[in-house]
Amino acid sequence: MKISTVLDHIDSGHIALPEFQRGYVWNRDQVRGLFDSLYRRHPVGGLLVWSTESSTAAHRGDGQLAAGIVKLLLDGQQRMTSLYGVARGNPPKFFDGNAHAFTGLRFHLDTETFAFYQPVKMREDPLWIDVTELMSKGQIGHEDLVERLAENPAIGAKAVKYSGRIARLLGITEIELHEEEVTGTDKTLDVVVDIFNRVNSGGTKLSKGDLALARICADWPQGRDTMKAKLKEWEATGYHFDLDWLLRSVNTVLTGEAKFQYLHDKSADEIRDGLARATKYIEACLNMIGGRLGLDHDRVFFGRYGVPVMVRYLDKRNGHLNEQERDKLLFWFLQAGMWGRFSGSTESYIDKDLEALEGVDGGLDKLLEQFRLWHGGMRVEPNHFTGWSLGARFYPVLYLLTRMGEARDWGTGLALKAHLLGKMNRLEVHHIFPKAQLYKSEYDFRRPEVNALANFCFLTKDSNLVIRDDLPEVYFPKVEKEYPGALASQWIPQDPELWKIENFPAFLEARKVLLTTEINLRMEELLHGETRWLAASAGPLATMPAAIGSGISSEEEETELEALNDWIAERRLPRGELAYDFADSESGMQMAVFDLAWPNGIQEELSQPVAVLLNEGNETLAIASQAGFRFFTSVETFKGYVEAEILGNVEA
């Protein structure tokens, strides 16, 4: 089939993209390479299509399919999308990706090379021609261009030679591509998806969630968009979840299982009902976790894969829990987050927890007993607060204590558990002993100590700015005078000797004891007197390593990383995960925290795992390297990687 025919069929709806296909992921370098190969008439591979009835074909995008038999692209999407985008000047209706990848392609008539538009290099050179403009005008464009070139004194008679090259460029759309068809009544969606995965086994193999969603969209074409709309609603309230996570809760509601394969035999009506129930109880969980535990935004929402388990429990009880049941469920969620229950083999642990809830002897007590056998003691010890950085497991615990308890702001005396209005009342991390003062002191304080969790508290932005770099021995007496008890409300040791910089290590140890006492009290409160769950136990994970020396260490660093994530999103690439919890796959033990990470690669598993690690030590860099991550230690080098290797924005 000629390329021009393929493009026409895309316009008419005779060729489309199946719902289970991933979006467009090519970069400029790949687009340029494709056109260079086509211009030189090198082979670029054929097409694999699935011929099926349009009335039952689940396709991507909002374009209308033609009546009768249509062809859905199984192999060749990236090439055809690139060709369409350049030839038509806009992406096809099924497009989902970065259109910048094929916008502005130029061809040099003398060197016969392709490059993307660069004003300084190309503006004054008439031999750089716009490929999209030429292809959109066809033969008329060819004639007009040759005429303009012939009138240019610097070109003159060479225009005839260039005319042949223009014709060769236009002839790209007349190239024949070999086409293979998958057809027949035996070619069910399951069979076709398996064929797709075999063909794409080197690159875009679908995840288990993608496979489940493909089957869902075969019967319910609007399924993906409906789920994405719900994710956007949660994103607007400060929670960033993905389709796999949402689908996991749909799965647990409908099947009581974590594995997506159990969704395959569910009808469209059952999926719609399951989604409605799942989203209802997800929102109930968010309200419980935010309202009771104070974990009210994404950065402190640890243990998110505990939610599908909670959703199943709520659904089985039609959402009706008494106060004791609610708090015991939240106690389990808190424990799962603190000890990384779902940081390892997520699917198998969800299944084990679902199994504990089911059956005549199942329930919350069995769920907690199973957890205790896995982890050991559920009571917190002072050394558990030894971690540092905004990525440490106990960072959300510190935030939880601030929201659940009587913590008060040091600039206003107001309780911080209230939702304070106004930009200057947004809670910020405050270094009790300022970083600048610790670094310039005569004492040899290492970065982990400076950014220890026990040196963090939460204040309003306004109060944080007022205190600035004052030492505790200077500003603590002022706070205590104006707002008696405000220091103690944030678990500050009351011995003034500990407020001196030379006693900073002793201050940390004393505050860890106070924080430990508080979190254990809060957990007892959640258990309503059933303190047997906090009794000591000799489980396999009853102790933790001393500290994880990595992660986001300041509000400034977090702001820089969030800005980098926005930069990524502007280029239609997936956001990375802030403070990525890299854990042992079996035990769930946290090994390191990567500032910003794409564990599946930026190009949907076409590129290796990537991490941005700012101001990290050699130990963290070694862990990332051994785990197969390509890592960058500055924002600029990371951006250069994205521009050059992901987007292909390099000079020819």
Task: Give the pair of three-digit tokens for residue 183.
Answer: 């057809």
pLDDT of amino acid 104: 92
User: Strand pairing partners for 97?
Assistant: none
Q: For residues 611 and 624, is the Cβ–Cβ distance under 8 A?
A: yes
Q: Is 317 exposed, middle or buried (0-12, 13-18, 19+ CB in 10 A)?
A: exposed
| Same domain, yes or no: 355 and 242 | yes
Joined together, the tokens standing for residue 333 give: 């969620």
Question: Which residues are 597's β-sheet partners?
Answer: 577, 611
Higher-pLDDT residue of 651, 80: 80
The H or E element spanning position 181 is strand 179-182
Q: What is the CA 475 to chain-centroid distance, rounded?
A: 40
Neighbours of 513 (CB within 10 A): 15
Q: Confirm whether 66 is domain-assigned.
A: no
Tokens for 580? 């990525």
Our count of domains for the chain comes to 4
Residue 648's SS3 state is coil
Whether 539 shows a pLDDT value over 60: the answer reads no
Q: If DSSP states are collapsed to H, E and C, what string results for 83-102?
A: HHHHHHCCCCCCCCCCHHHH
Residue 545: pLDDT band with limits 50, 70, 90:
very low
Task: Give the whole-angstrom CA distance, residue 179 versus residue 562.
Answer: 45
Q: Are 19 and 59 in contact (CB under 8 A)?
A: yes
HEC sequence for 149-177: HHHCCCCCCHHHHHHHHHHHHHHHHHCEC
pLDDT bracket for residue 540 (50, 70, 90): very low
Tokens of 583: 């854990």
Q: Are residues 133 and 170 in the same domain?
A: yes
- Asked whether residue 216 falls in the same domain as residue 136, the answer is no
- 541 falls within a domain: no
Q: Mark whether 218 and 163 lie in a shared domain.
A: no
Of 164 and 554, which is predicted with more confidence?
164
Q: Which of residues 645 and 5 earns the better pLDDT score? A: 5
Cα 571–chain centre separation: 15
- The first and second tokens of residue 545, run together, are 């390593």
> Tell me: the pLDDT tens digits for 388-428?
666 677 888 999 999 888 899 999 998 987 554 444 346 78
Q: Which residue has the higher pLDDT, 579 or 80?
A: 80
Instruction: Give CA–CA dist 551/23, Å, rounded.
Output: 31
**What digits encode the pLDDT tens for the residues 35-91?**
999 999 999 988 988 888 887 776 777 788 888 898 988 888 889 999 999 999 999
Q: What is the DSSP string of 294-361?
A: ---SGGG---GGGHHHHHHHHHHTTT---HHHHHHHHHHHHHHHHTTTTSSSHHHHHHHHHHHHSSTT
Residue 547's Cα: distance from chain center in Å? Answer: 25
Indicate if 439 and 335 belong to the same structural domain.
Answer: no
Q: Are residues 222 and 157 in the same domain?
A: no
213/358 same-domain check: yes
- Given 534, 564, 583, which residue is the final one in a domain? 534
Residue 641 has phi, psi (to 5 degrees) of -60, -45
Q: For residue range 166-185, what is the model confidence (pLDDT) as tens digits?
A: 999 999 999 999 988 888 77
In a domain, 72, yes or no: no
Segment among 329-333, 524-528, 568-572 with least mean pLDDT: 568-572
Are 174 and 241 part of one and the same domain?
no
* Token reading at 189: 């969606």
Q: What is the mean pLDDT of residues 548-553?
A: 60
- The pLDDT of residue 206: 53
pLDDT in tens, 6-38: 999 999 999 988 877 777 878 888 899 999 999
Name the residue range of residue 498's domain. 383-534
Residue 55 belongs to some domain of the structure: no
CB burial of residue 416 (10 Å; 0-12, 13-18, 19+): buried
Residues 522 and 396 in one domain: yes
**544 belongs to a structural domain:** no
The residue length of the chain stands at: 652
Within 8 A by CB and 6+ apart from 262, the residues are 251, 254, 255
pLDDT (0 to 100) of residue 233: 94
Same domain, 216 and 357: yes
Question: What is the predicted pLDDT for the residue at 509?
Answer: 94
- Residue finishing a domain among 336, 351, 375: 375
Digit-coded pLDDT (tens) for 458-513: 998 888 888 888 999 999 999 999 999 999 999 999 999 999 999 999 999 999 99
Sequence-ordered strand ranges (E) for 27-112? 47-53, 69-75, 105-108
Position 544 confidence tier, pLDDT thresholds 50, 70, 90? very low
- Indicate the pTM of the whole model: 0.71
CB 424 within 8 A of CB 498: no
Ramachandran region of residue 248, left (φ > 0), alpha (ψ -120 to 50) or beta? alpha
pLDDT at residue 588, as a whole number: 63
Task: Report the pLDDT value the prediction gives residue 547, as an integer from 0 to 100.
Answer: 39
What's the mean per-residue pLDDT of the chain? 85
**Predicted local confidence at residue 364, as pLDDT:** 96
522 plus 559 within the same structural domain: no
Is residue 61 assigned to a domain?
no
285 and 416 part of one domain: no
User: What tokens appear for 287 in the block?
Assistant: 């309200």
Q: Are 32 and 614 in contact (CB under 8 A)?
A: no
Q: Across residues 535-556, what is the average pLDDT?
A: 54
> What is the rounded distance in angstroms from the CA atom of residue 590 to the CA atom of residue 550?
11
pLDDT surpasses 80 at 142: yes
Position 592 confidence tier, pLDDT thresholds 50, 70, 90? confident
Domain boundary among 375, 402, 425: 375
| 542 within some domain | no
